[in-house]
Amino acid sequence: MKDDKLVKLIKNRPDEGLNKAIDIYVPLVKTIVARILGFENRRDIEECISDVFVELWKSIDNFDNKKGILKNYLISVSRNVAINYYRRKLDKHELISIDENEIDLGFNLDNNLFDNLNKEIIQNTLNELGEPDRQIFIRRYYLYESVKEIANELKVNTKLVENKLFRGKAKLKEILVSKGINI
């Protein structure tokens, strides 16, 4: 089905249009969502996939076929919804390690303090990388963008991005180890 027909169907008959979009795009959306959320929790993946298609329906008026194809628009929506879903899970502290959950340790103030300190050190270390290395790192490892997407956005060669990531990881590791972070 062509993009313009599917978009029109979603706008005019949302149930039918979304069912058709799901039939066509659910494998793609599932892959994107699972890469961001992890493959372990199927319930979260399924819930997030549903959120993606709800967001597609809510934002279908923002799609402009002159700027690209519906598939790319849906990839962007999927990535954004999954990242927001992941952040909400972190904010709610729903990501509990299995070991702590099984042995019922409860809240451990020391570990929480160390985690916060480590996060602060990592953030400061990322800021020390300078541009464009910092931006490349954030785009790759926080926003889960592909090397090709980063290269296109920064208007550089993909090899340059790969090299910056490789050298940046080594530099980041060296700085973190010197600050006492175990890697």
Residue 127, pLDDT score: 72
Closest CA to 18 of 61, 73, 55: 55
Residue 181, pLDDT score: 60
Please state, as a whole number, how many other Cβ atoms lie within 10 Å of the Cβ of residue 17. 21
Euclidean distance between CA atoms 53 and 6, whole angstroms: 13
Global pTM value? 0.50
3-state secondary structure of 165: helix
The CA R_g of the chain, rounded to the nearest whole Å, is 20
Closest CA to 56 of 3, 129, 115: 3
Residue 49, pLDDT score: 92
Euclidean distance between CA atoms 162 and 42, whole angstroms: 31
pLDDT in tens, the chain (183 residues): 688 898 898 888 888 988 999 999 999 999 989 888 877 778 888 999 999 999 999 989 888 888 888 888 898 899 999 988 888 876 654 443 433 333 333 434 344 454 555 566 666 777 777 778 878 877 787 777 788 888 888 888 999 988 888 887 787 777 767 766 665
